[in-house]
A and B are shown apart, each in its own frame.
Chain A
Amino acid sequence: MAYSFPVEVLEHIFSFIDSDNDRNAVSLVCKSWYEIERWCRRKIFIGNCYAVTPRIMIRRFPELRSVSLKGKPHFADFNLVPEGWGGYVDPWVLAMGRAYPFLEELRLKRMVVSDEALEMVSKSFKNFKVLVLSSCEGFTTDGLASIAANCRNLRELDLRESDVEDLGGNWLSCFPESCTSLVSLNISCLGSDWSLQSLSALERLVGRSPNLRRLRLNRAVPLDKLANLLRRAPQLVELGTGTFSSELRPDVFSNLSGAFSGCKELKALSGFWDAVPSHLPAVYTICSGLTSLNLSDANIQSSDLVKLISECQNLQRLWVFDYIEDSGLEALAESCKNLQELRVFPSDPYAMEPNVTLTEQGLVAVSEGCPKLESVLYFCRQFTNNALFTIAKNRPNLTRFRLCIIEPRTPDYITLEPLDAGFGAIVQNCKELRRLSLSGLLTDRVFEHIGTHAKKLEMLSIAFAGDSDLGLYHVLSGCKSLRKLEIRDCPFGDKALLANAAKLETMRSLWMSSCLVSFEACKLLGQKMPRLNVEVIDERGPPDSRPESYPVEKLYIYRSVAGPRLDMPAFVWTMDEELALRLS
């Protein structure tokens, strides 16, 4: 290696390489590149906090500035993971506090964060800039107060969809007057009960943050305060309103309208709680610049929705309730030719009868009219194979397709057949499909299609589908790029799992709940695959108190170099050699 570049040159070159995959490839070239790369890596993403330990991370990458961690499995969003399962960030914060004094960014998703951890973050990292807590829980407004008070250079505080306990107090006023660095503030998950002091603290904070670009308010911020906030921050690019209803007074309306027209850079709007249709025209002046519109908290009906949406010709992302109905989606397909992402949520998911006319027709219309559509999340009550054929034919560029037919095992409502062929067409035509969620009546055939065609599929969600192990087998053996597989209420058992054990090490994780995997198979898997953590979650008590052939309640398997974790609650058992010895 006599001719090799000096380390500084290589480091400089590596500094242009951002993506994790590329960095990983660089580190595998040779030992010296591995060494150089690990000293200059600044950013790390850990998709499963139990796949690795803080010590291992610190040992390999001593100079990180940005750490992203994910904790609980995705199905925790739907209450399938019992409380206390895990995902605690405290040990990470403790270790990083000692090892990374220059840490600037911490992004956590589905983790349990304590106030103590937040306090430690605020005091350990002098240059801390970005805190994103996505769907996290376990902390209160006291923890937020420490962050506000101690992080002198805070740029981003984003609490999206976290579960924060509001202890009252006025944590926003803990931001010192000297703090003017805020760029992004998302407090939309906080409560709807705020004192006047909190509101004025918010106003002052916004007023002294000239770099504020993203502001998502919570429901407590009344509509008549919004205009004031907007006038203090006309440079906003993203805005989430507070509550969007008030008594209809002409001065409120014109004040608001004027304030919105001052925000010439607004690209994204959300919030709109309790939105009153007559107030919506206040935002019309900025609609033509909008690329993202999130109305999924607003009870606005189809005709008003259509009026608003037809003003937003440049819309790329729309999140909306099924109040939009098929007619509204047809109008959307007409006016928003740049649409890339559509999410339609159910306004009344538990009603027996549909409360709105939202069917497969709406999605078909959008697939026809919006050539750039690539990401779909659609809740509805009926679908047909033909509709899926049409969507697949129209939109081969789909990358994310999540269809949720609300009643499990609903067949094609015209032919009464399973929806195998329809989803088969989706995976066959949409060659770049990375994420797929299935619903409706499905047999093993659909999994055969998926295994054969979905070669770029990375995440697959299955519920109430399939007939036998063959279904799971097709998926595990066919989907080359599969990283995350989550399954609930399917008749998948031991055979497919055991026959494809090796596959599991190439994936991040597998979740199976209410399936037919026996305790015996779990033990076997855990014993034979030392680099997999096979966790059995069973709230009925220890699995060895039942026959071994008895299916386990929930199973979570993930690859890990950290070995079995040590923070498991009483209802989680890791299957490993030790356990097998103890139980035999």
Chain B
Amino acid sequence: MEEVHTGGGSSTGSMSTVSKDESCHNNLVVGETSSSDGESELELGLALSLGGGPVKSKASSNASWCHSGRILTAKDFPSMLPSSSSASSSSSASSSCLSRVNVSSSSSGTKRSADSVVSPNGSSQVVGWPPIRAYRMNSLNNQSKSPPRDGPNSQTEKTDGKSAVVEKVYGVNDKSSNNLKEKGHVKTSLFVKVNMDGVLIGRKVDLRAHSSYGTLAQTLEEMFQRPTSTVNSMRSCLEEYDMMAEVTGRSKLLDGSSEFVLTYEDKDGDWMLVGDVPWGYVFSHLENLRNFSWPCYLLSLYPLCVYSNLLSWHPSVQMFLSSVRRLRIMRTSEATGLAPSLQQRNGRPRSKPI
């Protein structure tokens, strides 16, 4: 991508010329006279907008506009483009198109945006791409992968008495979750809001894009630690500018102490620790059930990779998915008073960072 920007930066001169010609064209289109002077054409383009129709602009700004008003272009800021340091390997404007094409096609495979989330099936998920609306995603979420079948085995029949028990207890009588249990294979998405203590901005995360609590927590970690701009991948010369340190409070996490826990609000408005669902409900008919050796439901945000192999989509997680309203990354100090921790229940040590 740097090469691409080089092309842009080096052809600044020709760019400005083009721009002025074009703005001349614009002026003609709307009936303004064009000046032969290159500089003032640019001003005209702007004056047009100020002069046309009732304008409420202050006299002073108008005056300064006419005298010295000129939209500054990149010529005035030679160092504006981040990769201008590599402008030495410039290409002429005429060949730049070709070189760009070549660069694009050869590097297309490697262009991945920095904010992409690696989903369990290996594909890169970029925020907001493909452009499918959230309500449609959630609707996809409630469909089973394979089409429903007719006949006596219709999905409304409950094949397991235990599932009926769970539904009574958790109030899950949604037919779609029956589909999920019986087909056992969910690929679509469920977006919920996530807020982190101390961070102003909430995010949304797709719960169904993950196959375990581990990858979910990993995603959240990335989400709240890294900026979302894809431009990061193109700004190699700014690596020395430490983005991480800039975002408040992250350094503590990176030090290795786990200050936060992951909680969620369920349908009844109660706050629960993620994964903190009581033992006892094991559904043998769940196709994707794998044995997990470490009943570590209580997650801290860092590090998480340890657990991604150990955890699986326990059927209790299906209940989590159907009852979760939103997530919150809570400070551990505030998380007391939530459902009892695993340590107290099972007497096993809490998860420890590597």
Contacts and interface: CB of A to CB of B under 8 A. Distances in A.
Interface of A: 75, 77-80, 82-84, 135, 161, 163, 189, 192-193, 219, 243, 245-248, 273-278, 296-297, 299-301, 323, 345-352, 379, 404, 406, 408-411, 416-418, 437, 441, 443-445, 461, 463-464, 467-470, 473, 477-478, 480, 488-489, 491, 493-496, 498-503, 505-506, 514-516, 518, 520-521, 524, 528-531, 539-541, 545-547, 549-551, 553, 561, 569-571, 577
B234 interface: yes
A473 B127 contact: no
13 contacts: A83-B202, A274-B175, A277-B150, A352-B121, A408-B129, A409-B104, A445-B101, A467-B97, A468-B7, A493-B8, A495-B16, A530-B57, A577-B61
Contacts of B65: 528
A280 to B, nearest CB: 11
A571 B199 CA distance: 11
Given A467-B4, A514-B115, A551-B231, 9 more contacts: A135-B135, A245-B156, A276-B150, A346-B132, A477-B19, A499-B16, A499-B23, A529-B49, A571-B201
Contact of B136 (A345, A529, A571): A345
A549 B237 CA distance: 12
A80 B134 CA distance: 11
B175 A245 contact: yes
B155 A245 contact: yes
B139 interface: yes
B56 interface: yes
B147 A299 contact: yes
Interface stretch (B72-80, B252-260, B303-311, B337-345): B72-80
Contact of A301 (B4, B72, B136, B147): B147
B297 interface: no
A246 B154 contact: yes
A301 to B, nearest CB: 5
Nearest to A540: B227
Contacts of A502: 23, 26, 45-46, 48-49
Nearest to B53: A28
Given A300-B147, A467-B7, A518-B80, A418 B101 contact: yes
A549 B82 contact: yes
B15 A82 contact: no
Given A163-B135, A352-B121, A520 B80 contact: yes
Contacts of A501: 45-46, 49, 71
Contacts of B121: 350-352
A550 to B, nearest CB: 7
Contacts of B77: 494, 520, 549
B34 interface: no
A393 B7 CA distance: 34
Nearest to B193: A83
A351 B187 contact: yes
A570 B202 CA distance: 12
Contact of B128 (A75, A411, A416, A551): A75
Residue among B45, B103, B147, B241 having the largest count of chain A Cβ atoms under 10 Å:
B147
Interface residues of B, number: 108
A540 B245 CA distance: 11
A468 B5 contact: yes
Nearest to A480: B29
Interface stretch (B105-113, B212-220, B270-278, B284-292): B105-113
B151 to A, nearest CB: 7
Contacts of A473: 15, 18-19, 22
Contacts of B229: 514, 551, 553
A499 B71 contact: yes
B1 interface: yes
B69 A528 contact: yes
Contacts of A350: 119, 121, 123, 125, 187, 189, 209
A299 B151 contact: no
Contact of A406 (B80, B130, B148): B130
A539 B201 contact: yes
Nearest to B226: A540
A477 B22 contact: yes
B351 interface: no
Interface string B155-195: 11100000000000000011110010000000111010100
A489 B130 CA distance: 13
Given A416-B105, A528-B69, A541-B246, A247 B156 contact: yes
A274 B123 contact: no
B19 A495 contact: yes
A182 B209 CA distance: 41
Contacts of B18: 470, 473
Contacts of B147: 277, 299-301, 323
B131 A77 contact: yes
B101 to A, nearest CB: 5
B143 A161 contact: no
Contacts of A379: 130, 132
Nearest to A192: B174
Nearest to A577: B61
Contacts of A464: 111
Given A418-B105, A570-B200, A539 B228 contact: yes
A147 B111 CA distance: 50
Contact of B176 (A82, A192, A496): A192
A464 B130 CA distance: 11
Contacts of B103: 467
A514 B113 contact: yes
B123 A351 contact: yes
A191 B103 CA distance: 49
Contacts of A444: 97, 100
B211 interface: no
